[in-house]
Amino acid sequence: MTLKDLWRKYQVEADSVEDFLARYYKVSRYTARGEEYAAALRASNERDLERDGVTIISHHDSKTGEVVAFYGKHS
């Protein structure tokens, strides 16, 4: 089983990694830490998406309280 398969049940819709993070990441753990931190987090999630075909937000960091996964706009 690949990472893509593992996280599929947690898939949510978003227009981009930036949109995914804005919609689902807790503000206190994302933009409230400053633009430099937010930019580094976006870059890290973009690398994960490129490398693995999926990027996730843990249940600790997610506004939903659940894991969420983004597979790209056309997945």
49 touches 72 (CB < 8 A): yes
For 38-45, what is the mean pLDDT? 98
Residue 13 has pLDDT above 70, yes or no: yes
SS in 3 state form for 9-44? HHECCCCCHHHHHHHHECHHHCHHHCHHHHHHHHHH
Using left for φ > 0, alpha for ψ between -120 and 50, and beta otherwise, residue 54 falls in: beta
pTM listed for this prediction: 0.92
Looking at residue 75, its pLDDT comes to: 61
